[in-house]
Amino acid sequence: MSWLELLNNLESGAVRAATQDDNGQWHANIEVKQGILEAFKNGQNTEFAGGFVDKHNLAPQEFTADAGVRMVPGGSSVRRGAYVAKGTIIMPPAYVNIGAYIDEGTMVDSHALVGSCAQVGKNVHLSAAVQLGGVLEPIGASPVVIEDDAFIGAGCVIVEGVVVKKGAVLAPGVRLSATIPVYDCVNERQLDKGEAIPEYAIVIPGSRPASNDWAREQGLSMSCALIVKYRDEQSDASLLLEEVLR
């Protein structure tokens, strides 16, 4: 398909930048990412209202009430080629980049970024200043994925294709990348590199001693993430408080 058809299909949700197989694993859709890069190559810089300059074929989307998306005034933008489902709320200022997918009932709070090709499931809460990294290149790299019913606390940064499984809760300030280790304190193990954050895990920021002798002598430590429990009725009750905002 042409890059124009691709952008239209991305916006309608007919195609996605990543798909999930029968085993629950996520894989990048290489053809989609190639098409997005082709759209960039074919775009020419042009001026938009408000003094903005971008590719002429990647203008920000405009929503109507019929779309069922609540785009609160104040500086948010959803770029061409992103899918935003009905029931989504976008608080200002927030940004949703090309190729991103946001499913029904999700909250995108102030200063949040949904990077290029990031995939966000149903009824997810992206709290203030959450950053979901975008991945267009390398072409085969999988994007960040946040599955259904996850709660991502304020200031979390999730990059480098990290997958957060269904119902997981990240406390404010958690940083997740391909190189930041995650320790499951409940099951007493370290997650394998590239392993997804498990379903219904509750994750908090942590630290661990630096590995070499000199660093230990200086009392230095490095960032990690800790799974301290899995969701129960009490933790679910505290998360229900946000529903009044929808």
Residue 245's contacts (CB-CB under 8 Å, 6 or more residues apart) are 89, 107
d(CA 94, CA 115): 11
Instruction: Look up the pTM and report it.
Output: 0.93
pLDDT for the residue numbered 147: 98
pLDDT for the residue numbered 243: 56
Catalogue all structural domains in the chain, each as residue range(s) with its CATH number. 61-245 (2.160.10.10)
Give mean pLDDT, residues 70-88.
Answer: 97
d(CA 197, CA 217): 32
pLDDT at 232 over 90: no
Residue 206's contacts (CB-CB under 8 Å, 6 or more residues apart) are 183, 223, 224, 225, 226
Whether residue 230 contacts residue 186, with contact meaning beta carbons closer than 8 Å, is answered with: yes
Give mean pLDDT, residues 215-238.
Answer: 86
Which tens digit of pLDDT belongs to each residue from 91-124? 999 999 999 999 999 999 999 999 999 999 999 9
pLDDT at 57 over 70: yes
Q: pLDDT confidence of 240, banded at 50, 70, 90?
A: low
